[in-house]
Amino acid sequence: MPPTETIRQMLTPGKLLDAGRVWEVVELLEGRPAKLSGLIECLFDEDPAIASRAADALERITRDRPHQAQRWKQALIGLLSETTEKKVRWNLALTIPRLKLTVPECRRIAQILNTSLDDPSSIVKTCALHAMADLTRKDRASLTDVLDLLRMAARSGTPAMRARSRILLKALESGRRKRSSLHMFD
């Protein structure tokens, strides 16, 4: 990145769903959380391609370092509820559950994600299911409802939803059995 090139400029070239220079942005921001604000600003850009690539970069960054996005938690939740850009929606669905969340925040996010299940995009729906499953780690009371939702999606969802639901069900049900057997002798 030339000294005067901004993150927005790095995210500009390419068509709507092109990855462009996302990996360069991720590498640039790696270990430099102070620079993350420039990426966050791009999530709200009027150009849907820039916002989409910014969401992609943020999702990749938070895989290993979710704490770096923590200070923007409320803005990210707000954007998830408002955006219509499918790539932003699916990347935020994967990103937000990685943050430190309260139970009321988990429930608000789950309500937002539930509306994504009616989206025409299979990947948006699939990522919403994945996010709802991830939220059960922080909101244990939602586990039964999420398991039911995953069972329905595993039977009647799109091919991607069916495949992801089977994987998530296996993981959640396995974890549930382990937890209940741990408490068997309490």
pLDDT tens per residue, the chain (186 residues)?
Answer: 455 788 999 998 777 677 788 999 999 898 787 889 999 999 999 999 999 999 999 999 999 999 999 999 999 999 999 999 999 999 999 999 999 999 999 999 999 999 999 999 999 999 999 999 999 999 999 999 999 999 999 999 999 999 999 999 999 988 765 543 333 333
**How many angstroms separate the CA atoms of 182 and 167, rounded?**
23
| Residue that the structure tokens 């640039």 belong to | 28
pTM, 2 dp: 0.88
| Phi, psi of 143, rounded to the nearest 5 degrees | -60, -45
Enumerate the domain spans of the chain.
1-92, 101-186
Show the DSSP H helices in the chain as ranges: 7-11, 22-29, 36-43, 48-64, 73-82, 86-95, 103-116, 122-135, 143-156, 159-182
Report how far residue 25's alpha carbon sits from residue 36's, in angstroms, rounded to the nearest whole number.
10
